[in-house]
Amino acid sequence: MESYASSTRKTSYCYLEFFAGLGSFPCSDMNCRLEGSAVRVLKNRANFARYAFLTSIKSTADNLKTSVANLSKSDVQILVGNPNNVKTLELLIDQIPRSASSLAFIDPGGYRRLSWKTLERLAELGKNRQGEKTELLIIFPLEMALLRNLVRPECAESVTRFYGNRRWEELKNLKQAGKSEDIKPRLVELFKDGLSGLGYKFVEDFKPTASTYDPYYHLVYAGDTVSRLKQLKNAWGRSRFLRCELLYGIQEAKKKR
C-alpha cells in the first residue's frame, strides 16, 4: 500500500477489498493482536479517494465498522454480501467513479469462495472511462487449500469454478501419480494464464516465505501498468517482521540505533 501513496496523490484511486475480515486477530500462542487488512490500509499514508470493504457476514461488518470508526479517511463503505453474486458485485463496483482507477485486494481464505466468473466480471465492469481495468492483488491458496484437496472427487466442481476451466485435471492426474512437487508452480501458472486471458498486460506471482519453506499461499498481481509491478517487486523484496514473530524485538531495536 505504501507504493500506492505517490499515485493516490496525483490521481483518483479507489480501493476495494473482497472477503474483508475482522478489525484485528489474536496471534497464536502470543499475547498480542494483529490488525486486519482493512484497518492497516486505512492507517496507511496512501490516500485512496474511496474505500469499499465487502464481507459476507453481518457480524464481521459490524466489528469492522467499530474498528475503523475513528480512522479519518475520506469515504469508507462497508458492505455485506457475496461477491460471486452479480448484483452484489455490481453494488461494490458502483462505489468507484467511472473517472477513477481502482485496486482490488481479494483474499478468499481458500479457493471454494471465489468463482472465476467474478474475476471476469470485475475485469470488464471495473473498467474506467479510459478502459483501464481494475488492478488485482489476489491471495492464491496453494498449500493451504488447493493442493491438499486437488484429488478429492467432492472438490472437483469447486476447483473448476475457481479456475473457470478443467485444465487443472491434468495436474490432478500428475499428483495422483506421485509428482506433486512438479505441479505446484503449474497450478499457479494456470491461474495466471487465465488472468492474462482476461487482457491483463502484467501478471506476476510472489512467494511470501523464505525459499527454504513451501509457501502456504502466493500473492498474484494483475494490472496494465509496468511501473506498478516494479513497485510491488521492490516492496515484496524487503525484510519485514510482524509483532508476533520471534525476531521482531531485535529488528525494532536495530531501527532505533
pLDDT of residue 86: 93
Backbone angles phi and psi of 76, in degrees to 5: -120, 125
**What are 93-136's pLDDT values in tens digits?**
998 888 888 999 999 988 899 999 999 999 999 888 888 899 99
More confident residue, 254 or 67: 67
How much is the pTM?
Answer: 0.86
pLDDT for residue 249 is more than 60: no
pLDDT of residue 130: 86
Three-state SS for 214?
Answer: coil
pLDDT of residue 203: 95
Q: Is residue 162 exposed (0-12), middle (13-18) or buried (19+ Cβ within 10 Å)? A: buried
The CATH number given to whatever domain includes residue 71 is 3.40.50.150
For helices 116-125 and 86-93, the axis angle rounded to 10 degrees is: 40
pLDDT for residue 54 is more than 50: yes
- Tell me the residue range of the domain where 44 lies: 2-256
- Cβ neighbours of 211 (radius 10 Å): 7
**What are 180-221's pLDDT values in tens digits?**
667 888 999 999 999 999 999 999 998 875 555 666 788 899
Query: With pLDDT > 90 as the criterion, what percentage of the chain qualifies?
Result: 41
Q: Nearest-CA neighbor of 221 among 246, 194, 195, 251?
A: 195
Element (H, E) at 173: helix 168-176
- Number of domains within the chain: 1
Pairing of strands 76-80, 218-223: unpaired
Q: Is 164 left (phi over 0), alpha (psi -120 to 50) or beta?
A: left
